[in-house]
Amino acid sequence: MRKNILFMTMAVALCVSALSGCQKVPETSESNGIQHAQGANDQQISGITAETSGQRSADDYEGTIGTTNNQMNISAQIPAIPENVYQITLKPNDNLDMDRLTAFLDSASGNIVDTSEELGKELEANEIANTTGDEPVFYSLFGDHSALELSDGNKTASFTHHTWGHYVDSDLREKCLAIFRGDTTTTLITPDKMGDGSFSAEKAAEILLEKLKAVGVSEIAFDKIYYNEGSDYSYYEFQFSPAYNGIKVDIGYNSYSFGQVSPTGFAFVSMDGVADLSLMDFLGKAVEKEPVEIISFDQVAKILEQYLDSGMIEADGTMTYNRAELKYYPVPNPAPKPEEIEYKPELVLIPIWHIYMPLDDYIDGHYAGPSTICINAITGELIND
């Protein structure tokens, strides 16, 4: 199950990246573990005087940027920059110990068994299978080789790598999945529908957040929420990411780099509680938070003008980017060495401006050009996913 989830996540990311991706960053130098562009563009970005046709109000940006043959339209609500934004360094979380795992399991049974040794052997066997099969799979992981697991025969909870967590209530999960043996409807829940129904998505989210307290998580950002309803039972499926001070962690949603770490969460939640919960690369501990200055979106627009003029971004003018968000971007770890699965001891998060069109709209419109553009919110550089 754990192996399948990892492969599924990597496969989805790789497949989507074939459709489009964040644009290429200029030649880089490294400082404090972060890639910084240098050369002519540095002076251009720091001394921008170019004007665009966009008019920025307090909350919105409406405008066309670029030349006649290479331009992009932006019509998006622009978030306010929080007072405190950081470059964050995460490391494996040594607080994920047996006491915390016991709280995560939350079992009333008097027969809780430590199955950590079996889990460790399973993970080791998976790695051997991954690297010695007909099509070896090599990847980077954020974390270490640790493995802890407890089970009461029905509920199972585990921590792996000091960055991953998994919980399952087998009976409740089976009750959820059983609805697909009959007539079932699946509904995408939009933010304006969170409070609808006798068992609302809002209530289910509260149940999920209460469960996450056991692993020290108090803030998340929802990516997708689905409501699955059968004839006599229903549950919500949550896809979510970690967040820090209201800023979501995201890789740009439609691209993947070899060595990329993408903190991701999945959960099944019914009115009876959490049935299944997976947290991948999600539970790192912040060991350093360096305050940083963020460029405004007005500055971003001028920087985009330069990238369009130079051809570093190519857009045909038919697209309208209707999303502009400030996010934390997990800097990709170096790709694994040949014939080796690598465990990376830290993960660095930097703030980015993410300008994009939702992927479904992009595919439906058959547009030419990138659906998403990621700009380093400190330096103005293009992020290469």
| Residues composing the chain | 385
Q: Do 231 and 182 touch, CB atoms closer than 8 A?
A: yes
What token pair was written down for 106? 């939350």
**Which of 275, 254, 225 is closest to 354 using CA atoms?**
254
How far apart are the C-alpha atoms of 8 and 262, rounded to whole Å? 13
How far apart are the C-alpha atoms of 143 and 133, rounded to whole Å? 24
Place of tokens 């998340």: 220
Per-residue pLDDT of the chain (385 residues), as tens digits, is 443 333 333 333 333 333 233 443 333 333 322 222 333 344 333 333 233 344 433 478 999 998 878 889 999 999 988 889 999 999 999 999 999 999 999 999 989 999 999 999 999 999 999 888 888 888 888 999 999 999 999 999 999 999 999 999 999 999 999 999 999 999 999 999 999 999 999 999 999 999 999 999 999 999 999 999 999 999 999 999 999 999 999 987 555 667 778 899 999 999 999 999 999 999 999 999 999 999 999 999 999 999 998 888 888 888 889 999 999 999 887 777 777 888 989 999 999 999 998 877 776 777 777 888 999 999 999 986 5
How far apart are the C-alpha atoms of 18 and 12, rounded to whole Å? 10
8, exposed or middle or buried, with CB in 10 Å at 0-12, 13-18, 19+?
exposed
Task: Please state, as a whole number, how many other Cβ atoms lie within 10 Å of the Cβ of residue 46.
Answer: 9
Q: Do 290 and 86 touch, CB atoms closer than 8 A?
A: yes
